[in-house]
């Protein structure tokens, strides 16, 4: 695996512009800033520090560490037109369009289904082979690249092995483990490992950028598990706080065996309703746009064939929307399971007397009661049940079956 060389000596990374969006990652900012400087020197044909810039990058880190945020900021810095002053200024048209997702030479792939297909990747690779049209680089940013199918990964590998001139691939994944990123791709990328941001850094972001009051910012930062996006939702969305409370009330609410099915059903239905709420407006807007584009409501010669084409396109759109809804539900359910796992981890911490920070400090009294009632082995079995449920969901086990099996173990320990 290619190791990240030290940043350019003397480089002082800024805390403004697009770089300000990268929270709690000073080493990553320093390296990416130096690489952006080297990239602009290359474009001008001037000598650049050896190894500072390369054609493929792999951003890894735990959920919420800001992998895609760092990758997008780096893409903006590569396209920045004010690079002589500071690459990634955040003010020029190039920086603004990259950050808003409208730059012509920056392609951002966000998988809406459970996987990224080989057909989608082949089309992406073909587009990446073209020279940049308005910017200095052709940038391909793939979020959740761990969702590549085997065929899609092979298609990407060919492009990474023989990269087009002035094309940069930015891949984001939870880790560089072979289960997330094939070794063949990983070995051709420069690793950029991000860490979990500190609670103090997250609270500062919430106060300064989201105008959250200090008390709420401190609380959200302390319970989000280092996930910046989650902290923002908890701080600004009462519904998100209510969903978290319902999940964390499950351990104390399993008094009778019948409670197992009530809790499991509630957990699955909550994730389903959250997925519907997240996609409903977008689904209808996409259908309306497609119908309009296909000439819905038209009359005259050719309308019959146009209608047949519109119906086929509508069925394909509905198929994609169903896949997106499935992923949204799985993501919502997984987030609930992460909260639940954090509770049982806190019980183990409490029983050990280690003094380590709790994942859910606002539920410390519930944790203490559970720690007094359960043995460490029982708490560990419950934690393992939650983790096994998460694994089962990635293997396409029906959610209600996986969750009921988990909650049954949570009940009897």
Are 291 and 314 contacting, i.e. CB atoms less than 8 angstroms apart? yes
pLDDT of residue 266: 93
Buried b vs exposed e over 18-44: b needs ≥16 C-beta within 10 Å?
A: bbbbbbbbeebbbbbbbbbbbbbbbbe
Looking at residue 352, what is its pLDDT? 93
Burial of 264 (C-beta count, 10 Å sphere; 0-12/13-18/19+): buried
CB 282 within 8 A of CB 302: no
What pLDDT, on the 0 to 100 scale, is given for residue 252?
93
* 61 and 68 Cβ atoms separated by less than 8 Å: no
Q: Which two tokens stand for residue 325?
A: 């809804």
- Rounded to an integer, what distance in angstroms lies between the CA atom of residue 186 and that of residue 115? 19
d(CA 160, CA 138): 13
| pLDDT, tens digit only, all 413 positions of the chain | 444 444 444 455 566 889 988 988 999 999 999 999 999 999 888 888 888 899 999 999 988 889 999 999 999 999 999 877 789 999 999 999 999 999 999 999 888 777 888 988 998 888 888 889 888 999 999 998 998 999 999 999 988 988 888 899 999 999 988 888 999 999 999 999 999 888 998 999 899 888 999 999 999 999 998 888 889 999 999 999 999 999 999 999 999 999 999 999 999 998 888 877 766 666 677 667 766 776 655 555 555 555 566 677 777 777 777 777 777 788 889 989 999 999 999 999 999 998 899 999 999 999 999 999 999 999 999 999 999 999 999 888 999 999 999 999 999 88
Cα–Cα distance for residue pair 269/67, rounded to 1 Å: 30
């Amino acid at each position: 695996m290619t190791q990240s060389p030290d940043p350019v000596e003397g480089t002082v990374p800024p805390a403004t512009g697009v770089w300000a969006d990268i929270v709690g990652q000073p080493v990553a900012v320093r390296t990416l800033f130096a690489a952006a400087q080297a990239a602009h020197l290359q474009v001008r044909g001037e000598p650049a520090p050896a190894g500072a810039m390369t054609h493929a990058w792999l951003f890894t880190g735990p959920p919420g560490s800001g992998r895609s945020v760092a990758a997008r900021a780096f893409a903006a810095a590569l396209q920045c037109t004010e690079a002589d002053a500071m690459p990634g200024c955040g003010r020029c048209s190039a920086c603004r369009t990259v950050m808003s997702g409208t730059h012509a030479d920056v392609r951002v792939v966000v998988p809406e289904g459970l996987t990224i297909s080989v057909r989608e990747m082949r089309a992406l690779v073909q587009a990446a082979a073209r020279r940049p049209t308005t910017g200095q680089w052709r940038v391909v940013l793939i979020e959740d690249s761990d969702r590549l199918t085997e065929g899609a990964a092979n298609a990407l590998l060919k492009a990474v092995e023989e990269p087009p001139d002035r094309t940069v691939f930015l891949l984001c994944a939870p880790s560089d483990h072979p289960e997330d990123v094939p070794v063949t791709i990983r070995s051709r990328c420069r690793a950029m490992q991000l860490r979990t941001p500190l609670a103090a850094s997250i609270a500062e972001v919430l106060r300064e950028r989201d105008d959250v009051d200090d008390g709420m910012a401190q609380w959200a930062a302390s319970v989000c598990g280092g996930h910046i996006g989650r902290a923002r939702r908890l701080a600004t969305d009462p519904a998100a706080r209510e969903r978290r409370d319902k999940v964390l009330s499950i351990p104390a609410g399993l008094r009778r065996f019948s409670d197992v099915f009530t809790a499991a059903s509630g957990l699955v239905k909550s994730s389903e309703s959250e997925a519907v709420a997240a996609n409903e407006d977008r689904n209808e807007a996409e259908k309306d746009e497609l119908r309009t584009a296909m000439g819905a409501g038209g009359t005259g010669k050719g309308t019959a064939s146009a209608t047949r084409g519109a119906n086929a396109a509508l069925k394909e759109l509905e198929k994609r929307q169903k896949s997106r809804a499935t992923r949204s539900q799985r993501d919502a359910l997984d987030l609930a399971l992460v909260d639940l796992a954090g509770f049982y981890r806190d019980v183990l911490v409490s029983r050990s007397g280690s003094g380590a920070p709790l994942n859910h400090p606002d539920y410390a009294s519930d944790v203490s009661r559970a720690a007094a009632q359960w043995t460490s082995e029982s708490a560990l079995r419950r934690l393992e049940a939650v983790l096994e449920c998460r694994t089962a969901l990635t293997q396409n086990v029906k959610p209600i079956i996986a969750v009921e099996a988990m909650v049954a173990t949570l009940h009897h320990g």
